[in-house]
Amino acid sequence: MTAAKRTLYLTTPIYYVNDVPHVGHAYTTIAADALTRARRLAGHDVFFLTGTDEHGQNIERIAREKGISEQEHCDRIAAAFRELWQRYDIRYDRFIRTTDLIHKRGVLRLWEKLRVAKTPDGRDAVYSGTYSGWYCPRCEGFKDEEELKQPGNLCPDHERPCEWTEEENLFFRLSAYEGWLRQTIESDTLRIRPESRRNEVLGVIQQGLKDFSVSRARVKWGIPVPEQPDHVLYVWVDALSNYITALGFADDAPDYRHYWAGGDERLHLIGKDIIRFHCLYWPAILYAAGVPVPTRAFGQGFITREGRRLSKSTGNVIDPVALVERLGPDAARYFLLREASYGADWDFTDAAFVARYNADLANDLGNLVSRALTMVARYCEAKVPPRPAPVSTTALQERWKRFLQSPEAAGASSRLKAFEEVSGSRLFGEAASELLVEHALARYEELDFAGALGEIWALVSSLNQAIVQTEPWTLAKDPARKGELDAFLYRLLEGVRVVATLASPVIPRAAARIFSMLDLGEREPGADDLAWGRLESGSRLGKVAPLFPRVEKANDAKETPVSETTPPSAPKPALPPSEAARLSAGEKIDIAEFAKVELRAAKITEAEKIAGSKKLVRLQVDLGGETRQVVAGIAESYEPQALVGKTIVLVANLKPAKLMGVESNGMVLAGAVDGNAVLCTFDSSVAPGTKVK
Ligand code: MSP
């Protein structure tokens, strides 16, 4: 029997659907995805949950303003989140929405337990009382009088007036759990990191915890309290419960039992803004209900611009769509996780993004891969050279262990680099990779993404230096040194493979492409790939294709800085540059890539030239029950009235873009014949909306 794998249940906050996603949401979700992949690489059994927080007064207000139902609004925004995660190559195991039935049923089951729960000193954990206080409808929370900005009793976060509220509410007796919470956090039974966040939470306990109300009278869009149907459950009780409802808490489902109740690790990634809810309210609620509590919480830092918080009202937002489109998902993921320590606040700049991309991805990694493969193509007929006899790593491992205890190691930004210097040994070959594997996985485990990547890049630079020092081109001139050359190149390729494996949690696409070039199949590396010497001698390497083509500086006219919301008049290229380069190199795409493009038959019902443009025409098209506006650059080839009635082929799932200020929701397909557009049509009648395959 094989031993059961260690489990990790990993969650992001569920994001509010007030608005489309922003870069802070992407930051947490990318970190969770990278950690999931890293822990799977380490052989663990991981379940990764994300989702959306959809109830509350804000949603009622926004839906009313838009003139649509709350559910419709939530559906739209939840879809935008899912679409964004797809672009970032996020692979969650489940996407929970608080409007899902499984969630509502789970919340009610938890509520049943809370209603009868007793505090450690034997009182009811939930009791009725009168609440009075300053309520901010935007925060959906009460504020202490001293927090308010004067004059006007303004919410300190939203700068809008708070309302004095008195209502009969049900309360949760948080104050009765002070001792238990302190002990749970101090003993690291609930391990809160970074340390500063742990101290902050202990500080809050020290000041004394107040009971909080768990029902709301004036909110309709929520889960009604069974014993008081004119109240809904407090939005935070509703929201926090997602972590267990998503696993099937309502039915004591196998996933719930495996990953939560019987799991080894239950880890919440959160921003520092919501640490109190997760580290005080949530554990106390669960403990009261007799449900196991989380084992870890990590509070990530906040991304700022020019030192200020990101906010639409001040205009300093970072558009996560523009960010991923600029240089592709790997580049965005790498930058966000490499640029700063995960727990710290940091300032985003376009220049830093481009500089990191060029230095680390295009130069260091890109050059290493292309040099290694080109040399093998040139000197070994593009086949993996014979595997050299393994070298014993015991002595180096011993020195490494001693080094890790030394002060030099403690102060080093890259321990592998520092070790190289202290020990005088080049990090090359099996020993280096073994040290790196263990060390990088440990850094990931601690959510030290920048640290893990720093160590992996120490090996990249070591491999690059080894090429310069060994001069394989000189070895190649001397047939007597063929064995030496082969051994060097084998180790170099293995180094590349180990780098791709260890970096794959952060840059999964590039890793899969490196694997494909190494004839290992275009696949995600797995735990088996960590061992040294996996490359099969004699296997044929693929064509060397550029991984990360260099780009010019941030304000290159061709590119839009990502720190501005994508201007509608400058539609982005459909593919990130690295993808585009690959395709223009004549490579084939697979059917799955093609399947991402949704082609449909569309009937033109209206057409008119766009004022001020020679080329553009505005079309209304019928997609079979749906009418769309599309802008097409065909005005020089067709008179508008000749277009009406034609059934054409439309790319139906393009993101909206504005052309000459007119919104376009799709793209019309046409051939270019001597500079004229010739529309793709059908040779017999096809109903509008029909899928084109
Ligand atoms: N819905 C609640 C969470 C409920 S969890 C049971 C919520 N949603 S939110 O949409 O406001 O998302 C908050 C989270 O987004 C933060 O905790 C953090 O993970 C992320 N970020 C939001 N802005 C951020 C930055 N500027 N920088 C980094 N992350 C930030 O709160």
pLDDT band at 81 (very low <50, low <70, confident <90, very high): very high
Range of weakest confidence among 96-110, 120-134, 405-419: 405-419
Side-chain-side CA neighbours of 643 within 13 Å: the count stands at: 32
Tokens of 551: 């780009």
Q: How far apart are CA 688 and CA 682, in angstroms?
A: 11
Q: In what order do the strands lie in the sheet with 346-347?
A: 308-309, 303-305, 346-347
Nearest CA to ligand 1 atom 17: 271
Q: Report which of residues 10 and 272 the model is more confident about.
A: 10
Mean pLDDT of 576-589: 41
Q: Which run of H or of E encompasses 351? A: helix 350-356
Q: How far apart are CA 324 and CA 305, in angstroms?
A: 18
pLDDT band at 534 (very low <50, low <70, confident <90, very high): very high
Length of the chain in residues, anyone?
A: 693
Range of weakest confidence among 332-346, 509-523, 575-589, 673-687: 575-589
- Chain-centroid distance of CA 641 in Å reads 47
Mean pLDDT of 631-646: 86
Q: Which atom of ligand 1 is nearest to the CA of 18?
A: 10
Report whether 133 contacts 142 (CB < 8 A): yes
CA–centroid distance, 13 to ligand 1, in Å, is: 7
* pLDDT, tens only, 253-286: 999 999 999 999 999 999 999 999 999 999 999 9
Asked if the model's pLDDT at residue 541 lies above 90, the reply is yes
What share of the chain in percent tops pLDDT 70?
Answer: 94
- Give residue 690's pLDDT: 85
Asked if the model's pLDDT at residue 584 lies above 80, the reply is no
Report whether 349 contacts 506 (CB < 8 A): no
Range of weakest confidence among 161-165, 316-320, 652-656: 652-656
Report whether 112 contacts 225 (CB < 8 A): no
- Give residue 343's pLDDT: 96
Report whether 568 contacts 657 (CB < 8 A): yes
- Give residue 397's pLDDT: 87
- Give residue 558's pLDDT: 38
Q: For all residues of the chain together, what is the average pLDDT? A: 90
Asked if the model's pLDDT at residue 19 lies above 90, the reply is yes
Report the candidate in 104, 58, 52, 59 with the shortest Cα–Cα distance to residue 226: 104
- Give residue 563's pLDDT: 52
Asked if the model's pLDDT at residue 677 lies above 90, the reply is no
Q: Which atom of ligand 1 is nearest to the CA of 269?
A: 19
Nearest CA to ligand 1 atom 21: 24
**How far is the first Cα of the chain from the last one, in angstroms, to the nearest whole number?**
48
- Give residue 38's pLDDT: 98
What is the model's pTM? Answer: 0.80
Range of weakest confidence among 75-89, 261-275, 307-321, 547-561: 547-561
CA–centroid distance, 302 to ligand 1, in Å, is: 9
Mean pLDDT of 33-54: 98
Report the candidate in 266, 464, 476 with the shortest Cα–Cα distance to residue 375: 476
- Give residue 203's pLDDT: 98
pLDDT band at 573 (very low <50, low <70, confident <90, very high): very low
pLDDT band at 562 (very low <50, low <70, confident <90, very high): low
pLDDT band at 597 (very low <50, low <70, confident <90, very high): confident
Tokens of 587: 């490579």
pLDDT band at 674 (very low <50, low <70, confident <90, very high): low
Nearest CA to ligand 1 atom 19: 271
- Alpha carbon dihedral 208, 214, 215, 220, in 10-degree steps, equals 110
What share of the chain in percent tops pLDDT 90?
Answer: 67
- At 245, the amino acid letter reads T
Nearest CA to ligand 1 atom 5: 13
Nearest CA to ligand 1 atom 22: 24
Nearest CA to ligand 1 atom 18: 271
What residues flank ligand 1, with Cβ below 6 Å? 13-16, 24-25, 27-28, 53, 239-240, 242, 270-271, 273-274, 300, 302-303, 310
pLDDT band at 491 (very low <50, low <70, confident <90, very high): very high
Q: Which of 23, 28, 245, 304 to mutate to test the pocket of ligand 1 (most atoms within 8 A of CB)?
A: 28
Mean pLDDT of 232-236: 92
Q: Report which of residues 82 and 395 the model is more confident about.
A: 82
Nearest CA to ligand 1 atom 7: 15
- Give residue 2's pLDDT: 62
Asked if the model's pLDDT at residue 689 lies above 50, the reply is yes
Asked if the model's pLDDT at residue 101 lies above 70, the reply is yes
* pLDDT, tens only, 137-186: 888 777 888 889 999 999 988 889 999 988 888 999 999 999 999 999 99
Q: How far apart are CA 456 and CA 510, in angstroms?
A: 15
Which residues, including other chains, have CB under 8 Å from residue 291's CB and lie 6 or more apart?
Answer: 110, 113, 244, 249, 260, 261
pLDDT band at 421 (very low <50, low <70, confident <90, very high): confident
- Give residue 315's pLDDT: 78
Nearest CA to ligand 1 atom 23: 24
pLDDT band at 455 (very low <50, low <70, confident <90, very high): very high
- Give residue 561's pLDDT: 53
pLDDT band at 565 (very low <50, low <70, confident <90, very high): very low
CA–centroid distance, 29 to ligand 1, in Å, is: 10
3-state secondary structure 133-161: EEEECCCCEEECHHHCECCCCECCCCCCE
- Give residue 585's pLDDT: 35
CA–centroid distance, 113 to ligand 1, in Å, is: 28
Instruction: Among 317-321, 387-391, 652-656, name the most confident range.
Output: 317-321
Q: Report which of residues 217 and 203 the model is more confident about.
A: 203
* pLDDT, tens only, 369-407: 999 999 999 999 999 999 999 888 888 889 999 999 998
